[in-house]
Chain A
Amino acid sequence: MNIAAPQASALQDDSIEQPLLSVRSLTRYYGTRIGCADISFDIWPGEVLAIVGESGSGKTTLLNCISTRLPPTSGTVSYSMRDGVLHDLFKLREADRRFLLRTDWGFVHQNPADGLRMAASAGANVGERLMAVGDRHYGHIRETAIDWLDRVEIDAGRIDDQPRAFSGGMRQRLQIARNLVTAPRLVFMDEPTGGLDVSVQARLLDLLRGLVNDLGLAVIIVTHDLAVARLLSHRMIVMKDGRVVEQGLTDRLLDDPQAPYTQLLVSSILQG
């Protein structure tokens, strides 16, 4: 398999005719307990999909299966690689899968410590993926890191500080920069604003929305916060007990929910 080094991400003509990622009948059991069951959907280049649902509804399980971090019990996940062909991800060699994860994909964890190297400097955190794909020019790596810190509103003067010395919001922004530096086409996020104060959340969401628009990123974001889904996503999947109860365009779904469970969810947030 030949996976080209990532270039600037864009909606290329040939990639628009087929989904970027295609999930079919995806099921994951933990023993006899259902993690998620019989999930199918497509995501297109540049599209933001929110997966919402209450705690324990299977959002993280689904996200981890799609991103190949967790093997599903059954079902398939196919991805349109840069060769333009849809590949079954669980039939790829592990080396190719891991390469994909650190080049063409990003994964933003709820807890930044899970996605950052806390003992390495901010610059090294951003530069790691560049070095992983073979950049061997210190000056270039550093320049790129400074540029990315700027884009996520971290002062360049902090480049040699470790994320330990950063606030929660800064850590999360650093984690985002670290993921975006290789211009991925698809980014997975699990409750990226989860542990943050409300005002810090708002700023991060604003930043995320800007980056996603500018870069034409496709994003699959897990959240239990419908406000986050409304602000960021084009489309939504509502989950309950491991299954999809409703999916559709975010505006339509929030304004006119069909499933009783979604109606309940929407009304509960409206009532605050």
Chain B
Amino acid sequence: MNAQQRTSTYNFAYLDEQTKRMIRRAILKAIAIPGYQVPFASREMPMPYGWGTGGVQVTAAILGPNDVLKVIDQGADDTTNAVSIRKFFERVAGIATTTKTSHATIIQTRHRIPEVPLTAGQVLVYQVPNPEPLRFLEPRETETRKMHALEEYGLMHVKLYEDIARNGHIATTYAYPVKIEGRYVMDPSPTPKFDNPKMHMSDALQLFGAGREKRIYALPPHTQVVSLDFEDHPFEVQRFDKPCALCGAEQVYLDEVILDDRGNRMFVCSDTDHCESRRAKGYRGELGGAQ
């Protein structure tokens, strides 16, 4: 894309160098202590908080001129949010962007992890609204910090207990809590629990930025990520009855699409790049049309 047309009134990637250094220090600390929430001096960004300012700041701090950026929102590259963030970085950093997972060096995401396994050298940047997994039952920040410090995580299971008591099974489907390397409990951001296993032992570096809450946390490559559960209610990912209606993919996360006002619907890949790549290779689902 228009890689050469960077708006020169801004410093590269919008943030000044000092701010980027401050954020990089927080990122390095986060990488050194996987799953630990590092406070950082979150800056105002030219977009509202709900738009992933934490992720944007992390991306801005790690971006280099040769990086190729992909931005997804719920798995799609073409939503307003994803498009604006991609445009933002094209304008303030003049970098190349892509929708292809395998071409990207940095992928900023809201709510999904791509279906294709990420590879060494890639960085996945999560936009995080609520970084504190203990907040649900413990509103006091001083107390949650102490609980992390002392590994007092009984409350996480209280939450899962309540889930089973109310629904007969663990009904938490997104922001499903994980334990990192047997130490810190972490909120994986509102990704579906379907994606939790992808975080485990990933070859890619995973960075999490929460702008409003001013926290950064990280999973270095090859980090153990275990979803919390009970012995008699083990962790399970969502299952879908049918493959993707467009590309026929199985074992991927599907979104429901309403087709008309008579209740007809179809289930399609939430990862649009994955779906398109498969169709380009000739795969078809039941509503995918002729080959």
Contact = CB atoms under 8 A, between A and B. Distances in A.
B16 interface: no
A120 B230 contact: no
B150 A94 contact: yes
Given A98-B152, A160-B165, A160-B166, A128 B233 contact: no
Interface in A243-258: none
A160 B166 CA distance: 7
Contact of B158 (A124, A137, A142): A124
Contact of B137 (A94, A95, A117): A117
A133 B232 CA distance: 17
Contact of B165 (A117, A131, A142): A142
B228 to A, nearest CB: 9
A207 interface: no
Given A117-B137, A138-B164, A138-B232, A131 B150 contact: no
Nearest to A97: B150
Given A98-B152, A131-B154, A119 B161 contact: no
Given A117-B137, A141-B161, A132 B152 contact: yes
B231 A137 contact: yes
B154 A136 contact: no
A124 B161 contact: yes
Contacts of A133: 154
Interface string A86-129: 00000000110010000000000000000001011101100111
B162 A121 contact: yes
Contact of A131 (B151, B157, B164, B231): B157
A117 to B, nearest CB: 6
A137 B232 contact: yes
Given A94-B150, A95-B150, A98-B152, A127 B158 contact: yes
Contact of B230 (A95, A123, A129, A137): A137
A119 B137 contact: yes
Given A139-B232, A160-B166, A132 B154 contact: yes
B138 to A, nearest CB: 9
B88 to A, nearest CB: 39
Nearest to B233: A138
Nearest to B166: A160
Contacts of A127: 158, 161
B155 interface: yes
A149 B152 CA distance: 25
Interface string B142-164: 00000000111011011001101
B165 A136 contact: no
Nearest to A139: B232
B155 A138 contact: no
Name which of B151, B162, B166 has the most chain A CB atoms within 10 A of its CB: B162
Contacts of A132: 152, 154-155
Contacts of A117: 137, 158
B137 A123 contact: no
Contacts of A159: 165
Contacts of A139: 232
Interface string B163-175: 0111000000000
Interface string A135-169: 01111011000000000000000011000000000
A137 B166 CA distance: 16
Contacts of B164: 138
A258 B217 CA distance: 64
A69 to B, nearest CB: 13
Interface of A: 94-95, 98, 117, 119-121, 123-124, 127-129, 131-133, 136-139, 141-142, 159-160
6 contacts: A120-B158, A121-B165, A123-B165, A128-B155, A132-B152, A138-B230
Given A98-B150, A120-B137, A129-B154, 7 more contacts: A94-B150, A117-B137, A121-B162, A128-B155, A131-B161, A137-B232, A138-B233
- Which 9 residue pairs of A and B lie closest in terms of their CB atoms, listed nearest first? A132-B154, A131-B157, A138-B230, A131-B154, A95-B150, A137-B231, A124-B158, A139-B232, A136-B231
